[in-house]
Amino acid sequence: MSSKKNFSLIIKDLIFTGLIATVLLIPIVGFRTEISTVDSTGLTFNYNFIIAFFVVAFVVGVRFLFHIYWFSKIQKKPQENSEKNKKKFLKKLNFYLGAAAAVIAFTLPFMPFANRYIVDVATLVLTYVMLGWGLNIVVGLAGLLDLGYVAFFAVGAYSYALLATTFDLSFWICLPLAGILAAFTGILLGFPVLRLRGDYLAIVTLGFGEIIRLILLNWYEFTGGPDGISRIPRPSFFGFPFARKSEDTTFHELFGLEYSTMHRIIFLYYLILILALITNFFTMKIRNLPVGRAWEALREDETACRAIGINPTNTKLTAFAIGAMFGGFAGSFFATRQGFVSPESFTFIESAIILAIVVLGGMGSQIGVVIASILLIGSTELFRELEQFRMLAFGLAMIIIMIVKPRGLLANREPSILLNKKNE
């Protein structure tokens, strides 16, 4: 194709893009409806045509850049890339990335640049990493599409909140209890529906997620309804509270340090780091146990599994329950960190974000979850000032990453077990 013809094609395409963008943007962006100040009943318009025009121009510009990129890509000869080398490289990369991430994670609070804000963001990212790893058991290993994972997060958070506020139990007793309760919820919900496959399971789990949220919202006597539960006790350092003054020995007295509010923040950071690492360690180990292998086999072929005598319902239930348990742990951490829980924190969008982290990271890839969390949560958290545009960019990022890397950022699925040792 001659470059002249190409050029005219590009121009045509750009005009078409511009037309489409105009139809899309002029009504919604151009006419901003506002409640009229005159009679306060009708709606009036705020005309934003200039903004709409700029957005259209922006879209056309992006399309143009896309064309240039595409054009230059075609000019190049596709490179032969041996599959094997790539796999080896990815495996190495995985290892080094994991090691580097662990080192950075452990030293982060003592870095010179680490202030309260950075440690807070890191804690949030780690919470999502833990949730991602928990969901990875269900989605990545067992292949069950769960769109209501946040329900277990909510059960964990509310269990912790209720146990701690009514019975005055300490964090270290509530944490396992919350995990167990979440796991039981997982079994309870999973039992009737795990015979369903694929998308039916997805919609039912979504429904359960909403049911749990609605119950939390409406069962006022038990959960406090939309007001939530406040004054959840903060965690203590194994019995030594983080306070300036207390009847008991406080943390800073114990270690003879100057009192600082950072102590608790850093403690919380390490708490979630260790909880997350436990999740990771557990997942890596269980993949090599019979139940873990059964999960992966079930993901690949359910019929074959039935034929060799694996009970699919029980196997799926264990995956569901264990995934739920880690969700519950993360939930109780969330409750103790916030000191306040309300149904608002457990909407469907959270489930979607956690699922996005798992899939964007590359299903089954542990380090991928970390990278996806940092990208999605960390980077959007840094742009908090752009409140409204943050989620806009979030949605866009989800689409773009998926289109560029449909298998996820780090997608290499190593078989957990091989018949013969690989001869390199």
Is the CB of 277 or the CB of 393 nearer to other proteins? 393
Is the CB of 121 or the CB of 145 nearer to other proteins? 145
Is the CB of 122 or the CB of 398 nearer to other proteins? 398
Minimum Å distance from CB 208 to other proteins?
7
Is the CB of 147 or the CB of 163 nearer to other proteins? 147
Minimum Å distance from CB 30 to other proteins?
9
Is the CB of 214 or the CB of 257 nearer to other proteins? 214
Minimum Å distance from CB 177 to other proteins?
26
Is the CB of 122 or the CB of 355 nearer to other proteins? 355
Is the CB of 98 or the CB of 225 nearer to other proteins? 225
Q: What residues pair up with 63 in beta bridges, in sequence order?
A: none
Q: Which residue has the tokens 């039912």?
A: 204
- The DSSP line for 122-178 is HHHHHHHHHHHHHHHIIIIIS----S-THHHHHHHHHHHHHHHHHS---HHHHHHHH
Is the CB of 225 or the CB of 378 nearer to other proteins? 225
Minimum Å distance from CB 72 to other proteins?
19
Is the CB of 15 or the CB of 23 nearer to other proteins? 23
The Cα 319–Cα 317 span in angstroms is: 5
Query: Which residues of this chain interact with other proteins, rule CB under 8 A?
Result: 20, 23-24, 27-29, 31-35, 41-45, 48, 139, 145, 192-193, 195-200, 202-204, 206-208, 210-211, 214-215, 217-218, 303-304, 348-349, 352, 355-356, 359-360, 363, 388-389, 391-392, 394-399, 402-403, 406-407
Minimum Å distance from CB 241 to other proteins?
39
Residues 190 and 317: beta-carbon distance below 8 Å: yes
Is the CB of 179 or the CB of 368 nearer to other proteins? 368
Residues 186 and 325: beta-carbon distance below 8 Å: yes
- The angle at the Cα of 366, spanning 365 to 371, to the nearest 5 degrees, equals 95
The Cα 160–Cα 328 span in angstroms is: 9
The Cα 345–Cα 342 span in angstroms is: 6
Minimum Å distance from CB 404 to other proteins?
9
Minimum Å distance from CB 234 to other proteins?
32
- Name the DSSP letter for residue 80: P
The Cα 318–Cα 159 span in angstroms is: 21
The Cα 158–Cα 178 span in angstroms is: 8
* Close Cβ partners of 165 (under 8 Å, ≥ 6 residues apart): 229, 231, 232, 233
Number of H helices, E strands in the chain: 17, 4
Minimum Å distance from CB 123 to other proteins?
23
Minimum Å distance from CB 65 to other proteins?
15
Query: What stretches of 14-160 adopt beta strand conformation (E)?
Result: 31-35, 43-47
Minimum Å distance from CB 198 to other proteins?
8
- Long-range interactions of 216-223: CB distance < 8 A, separation 24+: 216/154, 216/158, 216/343, 216/346, 217/343, 222/162, 223/158, 223/162, 223/343
